[in-house]
Structure 1
Amino acid sequence: MKWLILGALLFLQGCSSNYFLYSPNDKIVFSKDDFSHPVKDSFIRSRSGNTLHLQHHLSDNPQGLVIHFHGNRGNLSQTVEKVVWLVDEGYDVMLVDYSGYGLSNGKPTRENLALDAQTVFEISHGLAHQHKVIVATSMGGAIALDGLAKSKLERYFDLLVIDSSFDSYQNLARDVVANVPIAKWFSSRIPALVSDERSPASNIKQIVNIDTIIAHCNDDRLIPITRGKALYQVAGDNSQFWQFNGCRHARTFTDEFPNNQQRLLAHIRKNRGASLVASNTLTSP
């Protein structure tokens, strides 16, 4: 019982500054030699004032570029498996580490990470790749949406994939509190403790010129599928909701689920060079 109370108090302390949202580290879990394809590192100056580490996984004859925004924990080396498989399918993959993550410096705040994402879009939208896809996982969905809304550059990208994400920081906090029975009474204080400024739901309403997939697993125990559906409900007419069974949080498109990967790949290829068509459909495999 004591650890539950302590955990709830620590959660609330974190909520007051939003630091509970971000859990970076600088432990690199692979080397470039672990891959059969070329891997290059680059460093860019962000609008946040920090230096960001980008890692480029290169295909022999790229059909396009996939930019990945990872979740709130770890760094890009610990989430690479979610998109690196696309290199073998003919896509260059760019991995992004935000301020304070991995080899990037600075502190991870909501504003810094939004500016980091904005910078990545400003740099990448003019690259030579004819087909550009954004894949954002978990907290990465919130970060990508914030940066894309700030940049107003969505028309330069062909597809936005938001996996295992959420609609509202306050709703996310309520879900966390709901999993700690002793802390449920804190729920009424969340609006005063957690800011919903520039929430994913408010940002996605500003992003209308890009084909969008919002994906979520029924079995996600960290961010429930209701959060993904709520985000979809306020998305534009060119959005789709994909729900999957049997996968854990943020594992939707990893090698554990080749059928999910093939579905995404087929849509990426179909999307290449296609004009936006209003769909707004709810689908499942």
Structure 2
Amino acid sequence: MVLRLMLLLVPLLVSGCSGVFFYPMKPWAQNPARQGLDYEDVILIQPDGLRLHAWWLPARGDSIATVYYLHGNGENISTHLANVQWMPEQGFNVLLLDYRGYGLSEGSAELPEVFDDIQLGLDWLVASGRAEGQPIILFGQSLGAAMGTRVLARPANEDKVQCVVFEGTFASYRDIAKDVMGRSWLLWPLQWLVVPTLPPRDWDPENNIAALAPRPLLILHSREDPVIPYAQGERLYHAAEAPKLFQPLRGGHGQGTRDPAVRARIVDFLRNKACLGR
């Protein structure tokens, strides 16, 4: 038993918050062409030369906006593609970014470096002209939404994104880590060792989300989410400023967009004049 605890503890302490929050996968499970989608590989380069990979999915027909999609903590964009592959048909361009260490992106996923990856993708969208002067919408799921909140709260990004959708995310890094560890009789005694290595409170989504106003915000969260408790989504919503909407869901973690009714709800929100500016 002592050996098992040590084997579990060592990687957590060595990797700090990276070992708790990031679970990247390198191989692809599929590419957009297998789903009948047009796409383009995009390579973004950090100032230190680190190369990041993304997919650009153009809208079918005339575009009305561009969605910047930030996936959750596991696998890579090939396994998260299903969450946004329906959007081009609705008139949205989509940029899916793999953070460092995920898929074809180089490096190792760590905070705060991944914040810089998200910033790079946003800056590329603005500078490249791919958005064609149309609104940019940030759609983040789970950890992607949490990290996106911190990036969007930066004053320099005030005018770069016009609308925000979050699904299945949390209010506090430390609190969600303690919650997950508390569910395991092996992990809960180790909280006092691991939690001090986690991100500081000023990185927490609940301490940054108010800065997203006056951009319209839609938060979706499943009442049955087995990974991030529903109460975390409610807590984040209450920390946000208007204009904001909260949509309860059913089903598993980050699976909302599998439901055509949820897709329709998101499209209705994004097509609103407050998001599109028309």
Answer yes or no: same fold by TM over 0.5.
yes
2:233 is the alignment partner of 1:228: yes
> How many angstroms apart in 2 are the aligned matches of 1:121 and 1:151?
14
- The alpha-carbon deviation at position 20 of structure 1 amounts to 2.0
| Partner of residue 61, structure 1 | 62
Which of 184, 194, 209 is the aligned partner of 1:204?
209
Structure-1 residue corresponding to 2:263: 261
Aligned equivalents of 1:44 and 1:61: distance in 2? 26
**Residue identity opposite 2:136 in structure 1:** K
Residue 173 of structure 1 corresponds to: 177
Structure 1 residues 108 and 132, CA gap change in structure 2 (3 angstroms): same
Residue of structure 1 in register with 2:223 after alignment? 218
Instruction: State the SS of the aligned residue for 2:187.
Output: helix
**CA gap 1:7/1:70 in 2 versus in 1, 3 angstroms:** farther
TM-score (norm 2): 0.88
Equivalent residue number for residue 50 of structure 1? 50
Q: Does 1:157 align with 2:158?
A: no
Are residues 1:113 and 2:117 paired? no
Partner of 1:282: none
Structural mapping, 1:1-285, within 5 Å: 5=5, 9=9, 12-13=12-13, 16-46=16-46, 49-59=49-59, 60-126=61-127, 127=129, 128-150=132-154, 152-189=156-193, 191-197=195-201, 198-245=203-250, 247-254=251-258, 257-270=259-272, 271-274=274-277
Instruction: Provide closer, same or farther for how the CA distance between residues 15 and 224 of structure 1 changes in structure 2, counting only shifts above 3 A.
Output: farther
CA offset at residue 35 of structure 1? 3.2
Percent identity (aligned): 22
Contact 2:13 2:193 in 1 (8 A): no
Contact 1:139–1:165 (Cα < 8 Å) also in 2: yes
Say how many residue pairs are matched: 272
Please list every run of at least 4 consecutive aligned residues from structure 1 whose deviation after the TM superposition is greater than 6 angstroms.
1-4
**1:157-205 deviation digits (Å, cap 9, x = unpaired):** 2211111111111001111112102433334555423232412222223
User: Which shows bigger deviation, 180-189 or 104-113?
Assistant: 180-189
- The answer to whether the 8 Å contact 1:42/1:54 transfers is yes
Distance between the aligned counterparts of 2:224 and 2:10, measured in 1? 27
Change over 3 Å in CA distance of 1:102–1:20 after alignment to 2: same
Q: CA deviation at 1:31?
A: 3.1
Distance 2:166 2:48 in 1: 23
Partner Cα distance (1:14, 1:175) in 2: 21
One-letter code aligned to 2:263: Q
Partner amino acid, structure 1, of 2:264 = Q
CA distance in 2, matches of 1:10, 1:184: 15
Q: 1:179 to 1:263 in 2, by over 3 A?
A: same
Change (3 A) 1:209 1:48: farther
For residue 84 of structure 2, what is the amino acid of its counterpart? V
Q: Tell me by how many angstroms 1:7 deviates.
A: 7.2
Contact 1:87 1:93 in 2 (8 A): yes
8 A contact 2:237–2:246 mirrored in 1: yes
Q: Describe the superposition over 1:105-158 as per-residue Cα deviations: whole angstroms up to 9, x where unpaired.
A: 111111111011111222223531412211001110122112222363243322
Using the alignment, how far apart are the partners of 2:207 and 2:47 within structure 1?
22
Tell me, which stretches of 5 or more residues in structure 1 are unaligned? Answer: 276-285
Q: TM-score, normalised by structure 1?
A: 0.86
Kept in 2, the 8 Å contact 1:8–1:180? The answer is no
Q: Within 2, Cα distance between the matches of 1:132 and 1:90?
A: 13
Contact 1:136 1:162 in 2 (8 A): yes
> Matches of 1:151 and 1:97 in 2, distance apart?
24
